[in-house]
Amino acid sequence: MTVSYRQPGVVLTDRHFTVPLDHADPTGETIELYAREVVATDKAHQELPWLVYLQGGPGFGANRFVGKGAWLGRALKEFRVLLLDQRGTGHSTPANRQTLPLRGGPSAQADYLTHFRADSIVRDCEAIRREVTGGAPWTVLGQSFGGFCTVSYLSLAPEGLTAAIITGGLPSLDAHADDVYRAAYPRIERKVAAHYARYPQDVERARRIADHLIANEVVLPNGYRLTAEAFQSLGIVLGGSEGSHRLHYLLENAFVRTPQGPALSDAFQEDVQGLLSYAGHPLYALVHEAIYGQDARATAWAAERVRAEFPQFDAAKTLAGDGPLQFTGESIHPWMFDCDPALRPLRETADLLAARADWTPLYDPARLAANEVPVAAAVYHDDMYVDTAHSLATARAIRGLRTWVTDEFEHDGVRAGGTRVLDRLLALTRDEA
C-alpha cells in the first residue's frame, strides 16, 4: 500500500519494492527495499524528472529530512526525489545481530552479506527505476559511499542515468584496502594536529582519559567496553564540519569527583556510547572493508594491520612519553566486535568476510574511460574519509567528469553547505559553470 503525507513544503510518499537478493538469480530469494518519495507541495501534480539519492555509509539508511533541509530544498526546485534506504539499512530488509541468525550460522551470514556491496545496490536501483520512472533515466546524487555506488553505476548501467553527481565519494578504481588505509592514517594525523592546534587544552584531557581507560575497566551503560583504542576511535567525528568542536565539548567534562576518586561522568559516558555504538548501523562495521575488495585478495582486517605501521597511534606507547594522543578515523577493527554488544554476536561472521578472497570488481575502467553521462564531483581538499589523490586519479579516468576541488567544506559539505554544493554540481553537469 502506498501512503502519502505532508511536512512543511513537501509531500512524502512511502514506496516499497521487492528485488532479488542476488541479481544473478532473478527468480531466487527476494528482499524488500524502502524509499521515500519527496516532492515540493506546489509541484506535487507536475511531471518532473527524478533524482535518486544514495546515502553514505555503507550501512546507513537515507537521511530523514524534515521539510526541505540541507541540499533537498535545491533538488526539489526541479526534481521529484527518491531517498533510498539501501539494502540492509533503514526500513529495507534489515541485516543485524537480530535478523542475520535467520540465515543460519556465521558462514551462511557471511555469504548473505556478500550481496550488500555497491554492485548489488546499483542493480537494485535499476530494478526500481523501471517501476518509478516508467523506464526513463534519472539523475543520481551519491554522497561518500553513495559516490562509490555512483561510480559502479557508471560502470554497470550508465544507460539508466541522465546525470551523476558525487560529493566526497570518488573511490580509487584499483586500490586494495591496505592502500586505502596507508593513505588514511597520515590524513587522520593531520586532522588530529589541527584539532589540538585549535584546542590545545584537549591534549592533556585526551591523555588523561586514555590513561584512565588503560588503568581501569570501564563498561558503558549499554554494555560497551570502553577501552583506550575505542576512545581513540572517536576521532571519526573530525571529518565533519563541526567535528572538532563536538570532540572538544565532549572532552571538557569527562571527569567528576566521586567518593572513590575521579571517574568518567555519566554524561560523558552517555555521549560516548551514542557515538561509538553500531546498534543502529551494524552493516557499516560488517562490510566496511569489503567495499574495497575487488580481486582475489582478502582484506584481512586491513585497518588493524596497517595501523601497526604507524606506531604513533599506539595509545600505550604515547602515554609512556609526553606526546599527544592520536585519535583514529573511519576504520573498523576486530576489537570493535568484542567491545560493542551490538556487534559481539557477529564477530565470527566479520572474520569470515575479512578472510574472503573471491571479491569481484566493482568498477569497469574501460567503460568509465568511454563514459558519456554528464558527471560532476565535489572533491574536498583534505577529506579525512576519502583520499584526495585517489579521488583525483579516478576523476581523470572517467571521461568528461568535472571536478570542483574545494577546502571550504569537510566531508559533509553537501549537508553543511545547504543548497550551494548541489547547485554548483548541477551547473557543472550542464556546462553552466
Position 416 scores a pLDDT of 92
| pLDDT per residue rounded down to tens, the chain (433 residues) | 678 999 999 999 999 999 999 999 999 999 999 999 999 999 999 999 999 999 999 999 999 999 898 899 999 999 999 999 999 999 999 999 999 999 999 999 999 999 999 999 999 999 999 999 999 999 999 999 999 999 999 999 999 999 999 999 999 999 999 999 999 999 999 999 999 999 999 999 999 999 999 999 999 999 999 999 999 999 999 999 999 999 999 999 999 999 999 999 999 999 999 999 999 999 999 999 999 999 889 999 999 999 999 999 999 999 999 999 999 989 999 999 999 999 999 999 999 999 999 999 999 999 999 999 999 999 999 999 999 999 999 999 999 999 999 999 999 999 999 899 999 999 999 999 8
45 in active site? no
Position 50 scores a pLDDT of 98
144 in active site? yes
Catalytic residue among 144, 172, 233, 277: 144
Position 67 scores a pLDDT of 86
Catalytic residue among 107, 358, 381, 407: 358
Grid cell digits, residue 242? 563541526
411 in active site? yes
| Angstrom distance (rounded) from CA 287 to CA 276 | 17
Nearest in space to 69 (alpha carbons), one of 57, 47, 53: 53
Question: Chain-centre distance of CA 94, in angstroms?
Answer: 17
Catalytic residue among 115, 195, 333, 411: 411
* Residues 247 and 235 sit within 8 Å (Cβ to Cβ): yes
**All structural domains of the chain:** 3-173+363-429 (3.40.50.1820), 177-355 (no CATH)
Beta strands 261-264 and 3-7, pairing class: unpaired
Position 291 scores a pLDDT of 97
